[in-house]
């Protein structure tokens, strides 16, 4: 199976590939116990209104403190969890954690409390129990639905049979905000977009690379971002830019008319008390 040109890195006996496969296997085998053993934790990253730098929301991002491999980013295990189905209980756990923190912020900061934004995997979005689970968690956490946003990618929003997901309407009718994550990188059905119960577009971070000071920016990237912002506003949706790393990008985005920014320029993802400090203004 080794390719004759000698460049092949995927031959059957490739030791690197083997190590990767073993790690993958170990991860998927240990994941169910990890949930019981409390090895997952959630970090929070601010969503910042560009107009006045107010923290309007926070995105919940899951991590795994693995006993053998250390701290793992979600791109190491979310896909695996989708394959094994563990994403459903894991996602439910993240949702509950995030709603508990959001409730705490609401009690402590009142009107200034941010909403919490939680990622939904494809498999979770198609789980028939989704709406009931979300409703129960909001009830148990005493969290008003407008303090919760759910982020779905374009492929999660389109259900099976090429129909938009039915549960979106129910979630939206409850008062929950729906955001399309990584907008611009997937297959967007613009005809549907107009009718979907969606409130926010999150423009993928990959478009921010070309946003720099006016004289040195990539005209294609900045045109794409400007066009996506216009599209969002034409549809009466809010728009958030992901992956904002520099002051120049934040400035350009504000000038373009983007509502909200997220990224290292504002804050890295961190523990919940880092959000508390931000909200108290003692950073």
| Interatomic CA distance for residues 196 and 157, integer angstroms | 9
Which of 181, 259 has the CB closer to Mg ion? Answer: 181
Q: Is 205 in the site for ligand C2E (CB under 6 A)?
A: yes
CB-side neighbour CA atoms (13 Å) of 102: 31
Q: What burial class does residue 268 get, using C-beta atoms within 10 Å of its C-beta: 0-12 exposed, 13-18 middle, 19+ buried?
A: exposed
């350009």: which residue's tokens? 252
Site string for ligand C2E, 159-178 (x = CB under 6 A): --------------------
Which of 50, 94 has the CB closer to ligand C2E? Answer: 94
Q: Which of 73, 107, 213, 220 binds Mg ion (CB under 5 A)?
A: 73
Angle between helices 15-36 and 87-109 (to 10 degrees): 60
According to DSSP, residue 21 is labeled H
| Interatomic CA distance for residues 86 and 124, integer angstroms | 10
Least Å from the CB of residue 155 to Mg ion: 13
Q: Which of residues 215-244 bind ligand C2E (CB under 6 A)?
A: 242-244
Q: Which of residues 6-45 bind ligand C2E (CB under 6 A)?
A: 45
Q: Which of 107, 264, 273, 277 binds ligand C2E (CB under 6 A)?
A: 264
According to DSSP, residue 113 is labeled P
Which of 105, 183 has the CB closer to ligand C2E? Answer: 183
Which of 14, 76 has the CB closer to ligand C2E? Answer: 76
Considering only 9-17, 90-98, 209-217, 235-243, which stretch makes contact with Mg ion by CB under 5 A? 235-243
Q: Which of 55, 56, 58, 62 binds ligand C2E (CB under 6 A)?
A: 62
Q: Which of 126, 245, 248, 270 binds ligand C2E (CB under 6 A)?
A: 245
DSSP for 257-272 reads: T--EE-STTT---B-H
Sorted by sequence, the CB contacts under 8 Å of residue 125 that are 6+ apart come out as 152, 156, 157, 159, 165, 167
Which of 60, 231 has the CB closer to ligand C2E? Answer: 60
Interior/surface letters 118-154, b for 16+ CB within 10 angstroms, e for the rest: bbbbbbbbbbeebbebbeebbeebebebebbbbbbbb
CB 244 within 8 A of CB 50: no
| Interatomic CA distance for residues 199 and 6, integer angstroms | 51
Q: Which of 78, 143, 158, 253 binds ligand C2E (CB under 6 A)?
A: 78
Angle between helices 87-109 and 130-141 (to 10 degrees): 30
Least Å from the CB of residue 245 to ligand C2E: 4
Nearest residue by C-beta to ligand C2E? 263
Site string for Mg ion, 179-218 (x = CB under 5 A): --xx------------------------------------
Q: Which of residues 81-120 bind ligand C2E (CB under 6 A)?
A: 91, 94, 119
Contacts to Mg ion by CB under 5 A: 73, 119, 151, 181-182, 242
Contacts to ligand C2E by CB under 6 A: 45, 61-62, 73-75, 78, 91, 94, 119, 121, 151, 181-182, 205, 242-245, 262-264, 269
């Amino acid at each position: 199976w080794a390719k004759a040109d000698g460049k092949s890195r995927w031959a059957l006996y490739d030791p690197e590939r083997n190590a990767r496969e073993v790690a993958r296997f170990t991860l998927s085998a240990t994941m169910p116990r990890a949930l019981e053993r409390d090895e997952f934790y959630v970090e929070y990253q601010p969503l910042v209104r560009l107009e006045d730098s107010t923290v309007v929301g926070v995105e919940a991002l899951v991590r795994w403190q693995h006993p053998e491999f250390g701290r793992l980013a979600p791109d190491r295990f979310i896909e695996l969890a989708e394959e094994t189905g563990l994403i459903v209980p894991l996602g439910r756990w993240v949702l509950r954690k995030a709603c508990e923190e959001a409730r705490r912020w609401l009690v402590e900061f009142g009107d200034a409390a941010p909403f919490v934004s939680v990622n939904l995997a494809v498999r979770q979005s198609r789980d028939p129990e989704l709406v009931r689970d979300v409703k129960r968690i909001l009830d148990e956490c005493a969290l008003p639905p407008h303090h919760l946003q759910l982020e779905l990618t374009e492929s999660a929003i389109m259900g099976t049979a090429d129909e938009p997901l039915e549960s979106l309407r129910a979630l939206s009718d409850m008062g929950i905000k729906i955001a399309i994550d990584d907008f611009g990188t997937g297959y967007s059905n613009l005809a549907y977009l107009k009718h979907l119960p969606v409130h926010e577009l999150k423009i993928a971070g990959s478009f921010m690379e070309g946003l720099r000071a006016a004289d040195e920016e990539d005209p294609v990237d900045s045109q794409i971002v400007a066009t996506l912002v216009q599209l969002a506003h034409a549809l009466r949706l809010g728009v958030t830019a992901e992956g904002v790393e520099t002051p120049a990008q934040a400035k350009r985005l504000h000038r373009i008319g983007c509502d909200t920014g997220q990224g290292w320029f504002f804050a890295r993802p961190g523990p919940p008390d880092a959000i508390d400090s931000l909200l108290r203004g003692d950073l």
